[in-house]
Amino acid sequence: MLCTYNARAVSTNAKLHALLEAAGRINYHAIALQETKPRKTDVRQLSDGTLIIRGEKVPSTRKKKSKEVPQGPCRLSCSADNTTKRVRARTSSRKEMKSITMRFYANFFRSSTPVSNSVIPTGEIPPRILPAEVRVAIKIMKTATVPGPDHVSADLLRAGGHRLHEILA
C-alpha cells in the first residue's frame, strides 16, 4: 500500500511506524494518510490513542478567511471640501461623490512640472556596403541553384564582374 503524508510517500509498514513515531513527538490527535488509490476507508486507533485514517481525505483544520459582503443597499459617505468656507462636510449624494472623485484624480495626475519637447537626434547615416562585401556574398552563393523571385541566378551575378559589384554596392 502506498500512502502519502505531508508530501512524503509511505510504502511499507516499517516506514509507516517510523512516520507515526515522528508524528508522536509533534503531539497530533489524529494523523490522516491518504492513499493514492483508495479502496476503502480504514480507521484504526493505536494503544497510545493515535487515530489513523486511511483512504479518506480529511478536511483542513486551518481557518478559512472569509469576508462578509453586506447584502442590500448600503450608504456610503464622502467628505467634501467646501471651497468657499474651507470646511469639510460629509456628503452621500452620488453626483457629488462622483464630482469629488473626478476633481481629486484630475488634480492628482496634473503635472506641475513643464515638459520640454526635446528633439531626439537621428542616428548616424548607415555606412555604405563595400564592393568587396558584395563580391564575397556572391562568391559564397551556391552554384547551379534556381533563381529567386527576381529571376537572377547566382551564375549570372558571378558573370557580372567587378563593375556589377560596384553597382550593387
pLDDT in tens, 31-48: 555 545 555 666 777 777
Q: Do 98 and 133 contact (CB within 8 A), yes or no? A: no
Which residue, among 55, 98, 54, 56, has the nearest Cα to 76 in the 3D structure? 98
- The model's pTM is 0.26
Which residue, among 23, 10, 69, has the nearest Cα to 50 in the 3D structure? 23
Where are the domains positioned within the chain? Answer: 3-54, 78-109, 131-168
For 64-122, the pLDDT digits (tens) are: 666 666 666 666 666 655 554 555 667 777 888 888 888 888 888 787 777 777 777 77
Q: φ, ψ for residue 142 (rounded to 5)?
A: -70, 145
Mean pLDDT confidence for 43-55: 72
Q: Where do we find the cell 487515530? A: 51
pLDDT of residue 2: 46
Which residue, among 143, 148, 169, has the nearest Cα to 159 in the 3D structure? 143
Q: Give CA separation, 60 vs 31, 32, 51, 84, in Å.
A: 12, 11, 16, 59
